[in-house]
Chains A and B, each alone.
Chain A
Amino acid sequence: MQRSLLLSLAGGLLAAGIAAPATAAGGDTLAAVKARGYVKCGVSEGLPGFSSPDEQGNWSGIDVDVCHALAAAIFDDPNAVRFSPLNAKERFTSLQSGEVDLLSRNTTITIQRDVALGLEFTGVTYYDGQGFMVRKAAGVTSAMGLDGAAICTQSGTTTELNVADYFRANGLTYTIVAYEKEAQAVSAYDDGRCDAYTTDQSGLYAQRNKLRNFDEHIILPELISKEPLGPAVRQGDDNWEDIVRWTLYAMVNAEELGVSSQNVAEMRRSESPEIRRLLGEEGSFGEAMGLSNAWALQILRHVGNYGEIFDRNLGEGSPLKIERGKNALWTKGGLQYAPPIR
């Protein structure tokens, strides 16, 4: 325990910037990243579809692809990334202290995190909402049927707070069992310590596959919150913030314009001024950010557009088979909308 307290103290002091990382507080993150030769990216400890390692330790997921895209934009090499797995509790301290250059870890944008933690969110990679999973045998069909239930979740999340709000607002009683590690919360639910397990709905689909008999569990229809998940950077480095923001926007714009990893070579010869600006044939937006003008071209060539990364990590091309739903482009009835590149 002394160790854990000391570690947290060290974390706290680091957060405080005593170790004054070169990149913290207004420093030039891009210069530091270029000098180092790779991006340091904070991801989860393992959430299939978003960020999870395989047996060889290779990471995959939509959050991981955001990191690859950033590396492609800077280095023309999607693999110039080192991943740091962070649990819910560690993630913000890690970013604040400069241990990672960005946090791409299914993190909900909230005003508290934006204004009080010294962070800046750069866009929404996935529009989510919080849901519940229960055993079919419990005969519960709606979250309103959870009166008196024991509920397992991970501590240090918005999840923990939303449950409290929801049950209080609906006059329901409950007991919350909050674990530090996601894997523990899931196994506790699986072992029967809790009647329900709650997290972002995408997480429910991902975690359900880890249960012993996954078809014995159902996900309740209610979404009790808005969970816009997106990457975050430290406040005070506007250029770095722009780079991370436009990395995601470039992928969303590319999907809208029909540019993908498959056709990007031909698209360079496109007559469309929008596509030409996106791919750096016109304008010099890349240089304005300290990158090459081919930054978006590099992203698309190595990683693909938003539709592609969604599909291979979360959608039809993945084991999760999550529908595009709210994450469809705005032109297709969804919420994904990127400001224009011009």
Chain B
Amino acid sequence: MIVASVVVLLVATAQENIAKQRIATGFGFFDDEANFAIIQTLIPYSETSSYARALLVGLLNTLLVAALGIALASVIGFTVGIARLSPNWLVARLAAIYVETLRNVPLLLQLFFWYFAVLRALPRPAASLSIGDAVFLNNRGLFVPALSFDGMAWLAPIVLVMMVLASRVVSTRTRAGTRWLDRWPRAGLIAFGVVSAAGILAFTVRAEVPALTGFSFQGGVRVIPELMALVIGLSTYTAAFIAEIVRAGIQGVAKGQHEAAQSLGLSRWQTLRLVVMPQALRIIVPPLTSQYLNLTKNSSLGTAIAYPDLVHVFAGTALNQTGQAVEILTVTMVIYLTLSLLTAAAMNWYNSRLRLQER
């Protein structure tokens, strides 16, 4: 409450002083044409779009990086964390080296490394690396075929879902029967579903393959190097912290649990998956949440490598072109705060589901 009223007071004073300095104020500029282009837009946007739309474009770009980064960081983090506890000395050492290196080099430096050193070293468009002449990698980005669905493509998932449902019905009906009788109709139905869905897709999906025309590749989906560098940099960095959290989580599960599971004859992998992990997650999730939050906030470092996130597009270009620092920074901070609160709320919900159910 006190903080809120101080903020309100500060903003009011600020507004007054700004008016005195004859600097434009208010949110009227939101509807004005932005007049600048943005390199990556997930929704239709042009120079004639409004500042409000530019804000949305920037926000979606931030969300994209955050989502990709969180997914990738989790995969790498869990893998490395588990690897650190591997009985294999080499694997454990490598995982430890990974953690120590990535954790101790400033993130901005790592982003510069990926962007200016690694991705810049890629060839020119004309000399692209390519996979099957459909996927191309060069210093302008990664170009992959775009899929376009037309006509009856929507039938494919429906057929598949229907066949899977049908197989369920069959399997309950034949429950009384012998095992192989139980299995065959199910497998048959699912196989039929897969084949016919694939057949439908083969006729209704067209892939638009990128082609080199003029300066660069046209058509297909383009992943800009700024996005690649940011996702790689953010996720490998955050993964180092997640790995430590995962290791601590696993080590936090009572030793007796391992031993009990092993004496039941479970393999090392089964022990981990069925006995240890479910308990470890309770320890892992709270600190994991703060890593996810960090990653989201750190994504604004993308500004330094020209990735058009919220800070770059809105708190950067839009701020500079309109000069309305107070309004723009307030909106930007409110958005980051909301994102953080939403992430935290989602993770709290997940955490409460993991808690021991008292019966």
Q: A residues bordering B, Cβ < 8 Å?
A: 1-2, 4-5, 8-9, 11-13, 15-18, 20, 24-26, 88-89, 92-93, 96, 112-113, 115-118, 138, 147-150, 155-156, 160-161, 163-165, 167-168, 174-180, 184, 187-188, 191-193, 195, 234-236
Contacts and interface: CB of A to CB of B under 8 A. Distances in A.
Contacts of B301: 1, 4
Interface string B114-154: 00100010001000000000000001100000000000000
Interface string B12-55: 01110110111110000000000111110000001110000000
A4 B22 CA distance: 27
B225 interface: yes
Contacts of B116: 187, 191
Given A16-B325, A148-B218, A192-B139, A235 B21 contact: yes
A148 B216 contact: yes
Given A26-B20, A89-B316, A178-B306, A164 B35 contact: yes
B325 A116 contact: no
A136 B306 CA distance: 26
A96 B23 contact: yes
6 contacts: A15-B23, A16-B14, A89-B319, A168-B48, A175-B39, A180-B306
B92 interface: no
B188 interface: no
Nearest to A174: B37
A5 B216 CA distance: 35
A12 B326 contact: yes
Nearest to B47: A164
A161 B21 contact: no
B37 A17 contact: no
Contacts, number: 165
B217 to A, nearest CB: 10
Nearest to B22: A118
A117 B323 CA distance: 6
B300 A5 contact: yes
Contacts of B213: 148
Interface residues of B, number: 57
B304 interface: yes
Contacts of B328: 12
Contact of B140 (A8, A17, A150): A150
Contacts of A234: 21
When A and B form their complex, which 9 residue pairs have the shortest distance between CB atoms, in order from nearest?
A16-B14, A17-B17, A156-B320, A12-B325, A116-B24, A118-B23, A117-B323, A118-B21, A1-B300
Given A93-B325, A193-B120, 4 more contacts: A8-B319, A18-B13, A25-B20, A113-B323
Contacts of A163: 37
Nearest to B35: A161
Interface in B273-320: 297-301, 303-304, 306, 308, 311-312, 315-317, 319-320
B322 interface: yes
B22 A235 contact: yes
A167 B36 CA distance: 11
A164 to B, nearest CB: 4
A187 B117 CA distance: 12
B158 interface: no
A13 B10 contact: yes
Given A18-B10, A177-B226, A1 B17 contact: no
Nearest to A195: B215
Contact of A155 (B216, B299, B317, B326): B317
Interface centre among A1, A112, A118 (most CB of B within 10 A): A1
Interface stretch (B69-77, B236-244, B251-259, B329-337): B329-337
Contacts of A184: 306
A164 B321 CA distance: 13
Nearest to A155: B317
A191 B139 contact: yes
Contacts of B312: 155, 178, 180
Nearest to B312: A155
A191 B22 CA distance: 43
A66 to B, nearest CB: 23
B265 interface: no
Contacts of B14: 13, 16-18
A25 B13 CA distance: 14
A8 B336 CA distance: 14
B214 interface: yes
